[in-house]
Homo-oligomer: A and B are copies of this chain.
Amino acid sequence: MKSPRLPKIEEEFEKLKETVLSGDNFFLAPHLNPDGDAIGSMLAFYSLLKRLGKKVFLFSQDPIPSNLFFLDGIKKIKRVLPSRIPKNCTAVLFECSVPKRAGDIEKFLAECSKVVNIDHHKTAQLYGDINILDGSSSSTAEIIYRFFYDIKLKINKNEAACLYTGIVTDTGRFHFPATSPRTHEIAALLLQEKFDFSKINDIIYATKPYPSLKLLGRALESLKLLNKGKIAVMTLKLSDFKEFSARAEHTENIINYAMMIPGVKACVLFKEEETRVTATFRSKDEMDVSKVASFFGGGGHKNASGCKLPLPWETAEEKVISRLLEIFK
């Protein structure tokens, strides 16, 4: 089967330009559990539309991560859909591979006159009337930067901060392989707008609430290596969460620490909850941890997956670890 021909981005850019210039009403939404790139790109695009005198409704079904609250325009984002849909409204979705990735908005979208789909992921579907899909970009923010250039609107300081945030978060600070010479060229141009990029890095990468650090400490205290150092195991008990008044969000990123140990090929973090245990897996290279997750009814990808077990933690650990050892055989 021939793969569907992806739209040429120039043609689609031209269509978007026409739509932006001729339209009056716009609805913008990021994907569920929105990240810095979806939000940063959406807010920069929002600012562009406002500068052109458009009416814009900003929506996010899921809450915005608190470390993005510094972004200009963030408070305009509503968690509920508009009560009434204006005539000739164009919906623009940011990083939604399918429309429902933006939430329960399919009925709403059906009443919009046009849907625009903007994404840099190669898995994106062609569901929009306009599809701006570019797998060669490190981030959606890079695509939006190019749109500013295309529509000949000089980026301002706040827009630059939004797009920089998108780039820096989606490239893991210019670290991931999708970072290209163009990514750095765009960063260079954005920095000319003199926003405080160093403070943005401070907020996103050098700020950790006390409960996060205490949970990290407890998880590392529990860290043990199995199978000649190829498997790392960490456990957080319900009592740990209670001791530090910590919530699930405070465990973010903890699992990645175990993957930093030279020789570790797979790791699992167990989190004890009231009536079950959540197991989160990471792995490297060919080690497929999604097999373990799916065996226990969970899911995910080869190198990142998870499952929930309605068991006491000792039993859950025993079962999961013995399954994990299997994939190393």
Contact = CB atoms under 8 A, between A and B. Distances in A.
What is the total number of copies of this protein in its complex?
2
Contacts of A210: 225, 229, 261
A185 interface: yes
Nearest to A206: B260
A283 to B, nearest CB: 14
Interface string A194-234: 00011001100111111001101111110101000100000
A223 B219 contact: no
A214 B207 contact: no
Interface stretch (A78-86, A87-95, A174-182): A174-182
Contacts of A256: 206
Interface in A226-263: 229, 256-262
Main secondary structure of the interface of A (DSSP, over half): helix
Nearest to A225: B210
Nearest to A211: B261
A275 interface: no
Contact of A179 (B191, B206, B220): B191
Contacts of A180: 191
A146 interface: no
Nearest to A199: B177
Contacts of A202: 175
B216 A217 contact: yes
A189 B183 CA distance: 11
15 contacts: A172-B201, A175-B198, A175-B202, A175-B205, A180-B191, A181-B192, A185-B185, A207-B260, A208-B257, A208-B260, A208-B261, A209-B261, A214-B223, A217-B220, A217-B221
